[in-house]
Structure 1
Amino acid sequence: MLTRHRGSTLSAAALLSALMLAACGGGTAGDGDADGSGDQPEGEQDQHQEQIEEAEAARDAALAGPAEAHQEEAAQLVSELSLEEKVGQVLVGEYSSADASGMASLVEELHLAGAIVMGDNVPAAGEGAEQSGADLTELETQISSIQSAAEERGYPAMISVDQEGGLVTRVGEPLTEWPTPMAFGAAHENLEGTGLTWQGHLFMGEELAELGFTASFAPNGDVTVGAADPTMGSRAFSSDPEVVAELSLTGIRGLAEGGLMGSVKHFPGHGSVTDDSHYTLPTQDASLEELREQDWVPFAESIEAGVPMIMMGHIDVPALDEGVPSSLSSAAYDELREMGHDGVVVTDALNMGAIADGYGPDQAPVMALESGADLLLMPADVRGAHEAIVSAVESEELSQERLDEAAERVVAMLLWQQDLEAGELDAGPGVQMPEMLRDHYLGLGEEGLTDDAEWLDDGAIDGEPGSADWVEHNAENVAEQLAAASVTVVAGECGTDQLEGGLQISGGTEQDQARLAAAAERAGVEVTDAGGAQVTLLGGDQPAAGGDVAVALDRPEGLDGSDAPTQIALYGRTAESFDALIAVLQGGEAPGSLPVPVGDLEPGHSAC
C-alpha cells in the first residue's frame, strides 16, 4: 500500500547529479585540486580528466533517451507485430472516470501504446480517510490494471500524465504540492533555480513512478511574452529563451533521474501567441529567423543535449506552412528533425479545439502521423482513429514505412524507460554515481567521499550531520525551498515587519484565504477583520489590486497598475508559498526576481 510520499529523501546519486548540473553541466567544479588531481603528473591529470568526461557522457546519454541497443530491439519487436498492433503502438488513449477497466480493455484489444491519466481519472479519498485529496492506493490499483493489459509485450505500456506543478497538476495531495514552473525561473537569478529545478522534477518523477506512471508531459519549453500570453503564463519558466532552455533541459533530466519519460513542449512555442489552442488555432506571425532566435532556442538546446520526446503543439506558423496546424504540418516535423531530434515527437491532445473543430476526429490522427508525428495523444475517438489509420495504410494513403518508423521510435522509448526505472543504465533511480564524479563535483580529494558515506545516503546536501548547515532533502523541503527562493518583492520596502498589527485578507479563493490565515497563525500573526495590514490576493474570481499589500499568486503581470505600496509575486498557492509570504512581510529575505516583464519592469527586477 502506498503511503504519503513527501518524506522520501534524495538519493546520493541524485543529490550529486544536482550539484553536477549546477556546475554548468560538465564544467569543472573548481581548480585542478578539487578532485585530488593537482599533485598528479600532467599526463595522469589529462587521463583522469578524460575518465571524468567519459563518466559524465555515459550518465548524460543514459538520461537522454534510447540507445542504439533499444532502437535495434524495437525494430525487431515491431517487425513481429501485425498491422493492427503497429497502429496501436502510436496511440495514447484517454478515459472518462476513475475506473480504468475500460481503458485497460482498449489497451489490450487495440495494442495501444498506453493511456493518459487526467484529473477526472484520479480517485478521491473518501470521508474519514487518513489523507485528503487523492486516493493513491486506488489510483495505483487502476494504473496497475492498465499496465497488466500490456504485460505480454515484454515492455511496459506508457502510463502518462500532465504534471507540471502549479496550475497543471493532475494528481494532487497527498503527493507533494509544487509552486508554478515560473517559480523556478524566479529563483534562477539567485543561483537557486537550476539545482532546485533538477531536484523538484526528480521528486515529481519519483512520486509518480511509485504510483506506476512511466511518463509525464513536462516540462514546458515555451518562452512566454508575459501579459499578452493567455495560455502559458505561470506554466512557463521565463520570458528569457536561455533561461527556459537551461531549466527545461534540467527539468527533463530530473524527471529521467526519477525514472520517467519527459517531453519538452509545445513546439513551435506556445508562449508568444495570443490565442489558446484549447479553443482555437493560434497564429504565430514571427519569421523563421525570429523563431530560431527566441521561441526555438529551448527546443534546439534540448535536442542538442538529447531528450526522449518533444511535444508538437497546435499552432499555425505561416513561415512554415500557412493555415495548417503545426501538429498536422510536415514542415513543422521536418524542422524538428533538421534540428537533430531523432526521438519521439508526440502531438498535443488531438481532442483540443484547434484540431477537433477543423478536422475530423478520425482523419486528424492520420494526417498527423503522415506529417511526421510518432505518437498521437488523446484522439477524440481512439477506436475510430485506430480504424482510420489501418484503412489508410491498407489503401496506401499512409505508407507502411512511416507507420513502422513511428512505432519503432515509440517502442524504443518504452524499452529505454523500462531499463532506466530498473536501474540498468548509467544513471536513473538507485544508480550510484561513479566515485570519481562524486569526488570531482563535491570538491573532495583522496580523503573525501566514499561509498559508505552514510550522511549522503540520509539525504544531506549541506554540512555535516548535526551541524547548523545540515539539511535533509526530501520533496517537502525542496518545495519549501523553492517557494522561499522565488518570492519576489516587485515594489515596496524590504526587510521591514509589516504585520506587527496583524493582517486582513481579501481577494483570492476561499482556499487561498484559508492557507494564508493558517500561515499567519503558524507565524504568530493575528488575522483581523479590521486593522492591521490589508493583504489583497490577486487570483480567484474577484481579483483586486488595492490594499496595503498586493500579492500575485500565479503569474505576476496582474501587479501592473496596482496602487498597493507593497507588491509581491508569489508564483504559487501552496502552504509553503504562503509561509514564504508571511516571512517576507515580517521582514525576511525575498531573493526572487521577475522572470517576465511586468508593465515597465524588466525581467530580473526586484525591489530588494
Structure 2
Amino acid sequence: MFAASRDPHGRRRRRLVASVLVGAFLLALPACTAQTPPSGGIASPEARPTPDALEVAREAVAAMSVRDRIASLLVFHLPGTDPQALGAFVDEVRPGGLIFMGDNIGDSPDAVAALAGAVQDPSLPLLLAVDQEGGDVNRLPGDSWPAGEQLHGLDGTVVGNAFAARADLVVRCGLNTNFGIVADVTADPASFIFSRSLGTTPDESSAHVTAAVEAESAASVLSTLKHFPGHGAAPGDSHSSVPHTDMSLDTWRTTDALPFAAGVDAGAPMVMFGHLVYSSVDDVPATMSTRWHEILRDDLGFDGIMISDDMVMLENSGDPAYANRLDNAIRTLDAGMTMLLYVADGQQPVDPGELIDGLEAAVSDGRIAPETIDAAATIVMAQRLALAADA
C-alpha cells in the first residue's frame, strides 16, 4: 500500500521550505515571544500568532496542493514499531499527525523516542500524540503517578505535580501532544467516564483541569481537553454507542461547560470532541454539529485545534446513520472540525488514500467548501510552525 523506500530528496526540499517558513513565523510573532519561542503552542495567550504570523501559515497552506491540505487535517494510527514502515507511511500520506497506541510503544521511553524520531521532521513537526491520561488509560512505560479517580478530592497542586511528571514522560518519549486531560465531570461511580474524570463536581474538575493544562504547557506538551461537550452528562460508552442526554444548554453552561472553559482559559491548544448527542442543542453528535463548534469558538473563546475522537468509533456505534466513513468525515469537517482522528481497527481498517481521495472529491464537487479546508489547514500549520519555532 505504501512505498517501501523513502524520498530523501523530497523530504530535504520540504525541510528547506519549512525552515524559511519558520524563520518568517518567528519574525511575525510578538516582540515579547520572538526571542523566547512559545512553549505552549498557539493557544497560550502570550503566544497566539499575530495576524502576520497567521499570514505566514496561510501562505504556506496556499502553496500546498488541495490533497496535502486535506491530509494535514488527519491524524492516523499505523500499528507496529517498524520505523521504516512508519516513515514510509508518513512520506506517502503526509498526515498532520500520528497517534501512538499500545502497539507502537516499546518497553522504555528511549524505545518510543527512537520510533518517534524516525518519523518526526523538526522543520515542520507532526503532531505526535498519545492518550496518556495515566490510570485506566496508560500507554507509556513508567507512568505510576496518580490519575483520574485517584485525584478526586485532592489539592490542585497534587494534580499539577502528577501532570508535570506525565508531561515530562511524554517529552522523553519524543511526543509533543497528549490527548490526556479528561474534562468530563460526573459524580456517578457507574458512569463510563467516572474513573477517568479529574473531579466529581464542576468546580473540582475545573481546578484540576487548570492545573493539568498549566503543567503540560510548562513542559511544551500540547494539552487536549476531552470529550467536549462532556461525557459525564451522556451515559453510555461512545466506543460502542452514541450516548445521548437531554441536558439543556442553560444547564450545561453552569455545569459540564465549566471544566472546558477553565482549560481553554488556561491555554489548552486542543479540544477533542466526543461522539455525544445533546438533543436539546442538536440531534447529531457534537462531532458533526455546527452548533457545538460555534459554542466552543464563540462562547468559550477557543481558537485552537478542534479534533474529533476516533472517527471509527462512529462506525462501531451500531447506528446506521453513521455507518459511512466518508460521509462522517465530510459532515464533521463541514461542521467546523479542524482535525479528524483515525485509529486502526482490525474490524474497520482505515485506508488513508481512499479517505483522502473521497475528501478531495468532496471539495471538488462542493460538498465541502475549499475555504473550510483552507481555514482548518491554516490553524494546523500555525501550530506546527509554532512547534518548529520552539524546537
For residues 377 and 59 of structure 1, the distance between their equivalents in structure 2, rounded to whole angstroms, comes to: 24
Instruction: Name the structure 2 match of 1:205.
Output: 167
The alignment partner of 1:216 has SS state of: strand
Identical aligned residues as a percent: 26
Instruction: Name the structure 2 match of 1:118.
Output: 101
Cα distance, 1:278 vs. partner? Answer: 0.4
Residue number among 330, 336, 350 corresponding to 1:366 in the alignment: 330
Instruction: Name the structure 1 match of 2:82.
Output: 99
Cα distance, 1:207 vs. partner? Answer: 1.8
**Mapping of 1:314-325 within 5 angstroms?**
314-322=275-283, 324-325=284-285
Count of paired positions: 341
The answer as to whether partners of 1:224 and 1:233 remain within 8 angstroms in 2 is yes
- Residue 275 (str. 1) matches residue 236 (str. 2): yes
Alpha-carbon spacing, 1:291–1:337, altered in 2? closer, same or farther (3 Å): same
The answer as to whether partners of 1:269 and 1:296 remain within 8 angstroms in 2 is yes
Cα distance, 1:366 vs. partner? Answer: 1.7
Instruction: Name the structure 2 match of 1:194.
Output: 156
| Counterpart AA for 1:227 | P
Cα distance, 1:95 vs. partner? Answer: 1.2
For residues 241 and 255 of structure 1, the distance between their equivalents in structure 2, rounded to whole angstroms, comes to: 21
The alignment partner of 2:367 has SS state of: coil
Instruction: Name the structure 2 match of 1:401.
Output: 371
Cα distance, 1:418 vs. partner? Answer: 3.3
The answer as to whether partners of 1:362 and 1:381 remain within 8 angstroms in 2 is no
Cα distance, 1:227 vs. partner? Answer: 2.3
For residues 245 and 386 of structure 1, the distance between their equivalents in structure 2, rounded to whole angstroms, comes to: 38
| Counterpart AA for 1:143 | A
- Residue 67 (str. 1) matches residue 36 (str. 2): no
The answer as to whether partners of 2:43 and 2:304 remain within 8 angstroms in 1 is no
| Counterpart AA for 2:129 | S
Cα distance, 1:83 vs. partner? Answer: 0.7
Instruction: Name the structure 2 match of 1:77.
Output: 60
The alignment partner of 1:262 has SS state of: strand
Cα distance, 1:259 vs. partner? Answer: 1.4
Residue number among 145, 160, 177 corresponding to 1:215 in the alignment: 177
Greater helix percent: which structure? 2
Instruction: Name the structure 2 match of 1:331.
Output: 291
Residue number among 288, 295, 306 corresponding to 1:345 in the alignment: 306
**Mapping of 1:158-557 within 5 angstroms?**
158-172=127-141, 175-187=142-154, 193-229=155-191, 231-322=192-283, 324-339=284-299, 340-353=301-314, 357=318, 358-378=322-342, 380-420=350-390, 422=391
For residues 102 and 198 of structure 1, the distance between their equivalents in structure 2, rounded to whole angstroms, comes to: 37
Q: Deviations over 1:180-239 (max 9, x none)?
A: 22323321xxxxx2222222212211221122101001211101131241x212210112
The answer as to whether partners of 1:245 and 1:297 remain within 8 angstroms in 2 is yes
The answer as to whether partners of 1:156 and 1:414 remain within 8 angstroms in 2 is yes
Cα distance, 1:345 vs. partner? Answer: 0.4
TM-score by length of 1: 0.53
Instruction: Name the structure 2 match of 1:135.
Output: 108
Alpha-carbon spacing, 1:330–1:141, altered in 2? closer, same or farther (3 Å): same
For residues 296 and 354 of structure 1, the distance between their equivalents in structure 2, rounded to whole angstroms, comes to: 27
Instruction: Name the structure 2 match of 1:539.
Output: none
Cα distance, 1:319 vs. partner? Answer: 1.3
Cα distance, 1:274 vs. partner? Answer: 1.6
| Counterpart AA for 1:308 | P
Of 407-416 and 163-172, more deviation after overlay is shown by 407-416
- Structure with bigger gyration radius: 1
Alpha-carbon spacing, 1:305–1:178, altered in 2? closer, same or farther (3 Å): closer
TM-score by length of 2: 0.82
The alignment partner of 1:362 has SS state of: helix
Cα distance, 1:242 vs. partner? Answer: 1.3
For residues 285 and 352 of structure 2, the distance between their equivalents in structure 1, rounded to whole angstroms, comes to: 20
Cα distance, 1:62 vs. partner? Answer: 7.9
Cα distance, 1:100 vs. partner? Answer: 4.3
For residues 179 and 201 of structure 1, the distance between their equivalents in structure 2, rounded to whole angstroms, comes to: 9
The alignment partner of 2:223 has SS state of: coil
For residues 39 and 102 of structure 2, the distance between their equivalents in structure 1, rounded to whole angstroms, comes to: 34
For residues 391 and 103 of structure 1, the distance between their equivalents in structure 2, rounded to whole angstroms, comes to: 26
Cα distance, 1:377 vs. partner? Answer: 0.7
Alpha-carbon spacing, 1:356–1:83, altered in 2? closer, same or farther (3 Å): farther
For residues 259 and 327 of structure 1, the distance between their equivalents in structure 2, rounded to whole angstroms, comes to: 27
Cα distance, 1:354 vs. partner? Answer: 5.9
**Mapping of 1:22-33 within 5 angstroms?**
none
Cα RMSD after superposing both structures: 2.2
Alpha-carbon spacing, 1:304–1:259, altered in 2? closer, same or farther (3 Å): closer
Alpha-carbon spacing, 1:260–1:87, altered in 2? closer, same or farther (3 Å): same
The answer as to whether partners of 2:270 and 2:306 remain within 8 angstroms in 1 is yes
| Counterpart AA for 2:136 | L
The alignment partner of 2:115 has SS state of: helix
Cα distance, 1:305 vs. partner? Answer: 4.1
Of 400-409 and 371-380, more deviation after overlay is shown by 371-380
Instruction: Name the structure 2 match of 1:109.
Output: 92
The alignment partner of 2:325 has SS state of: coil
Please, which runs of 5 or more residues in structure 2 have no aligned partner? Answer: 1-37, 344-349
Cα distance, 1:122 vs. partner? Answer: 1.1
For residues 365 and 103 of structure 1, the distance between their equivalents in structure 2, rounded to whole angstroms, comes to: 24
For residues 235 and 364 of structure 1, the distance between their equivalents in structure 2, rounded to whole angstroms, comes to: 27
| Counterpart AA for 1:371 | A
Alpha-carbon spacing, 1:62–1:236, altered in 2? closer, same or farther (3 Å): closer
Cα distance, 1:113 vs. partner? Answer: 0.5
Alpha-carbon spacing, 1:59–1:309, altered in 2? closer, same or farther (3 Å): closer
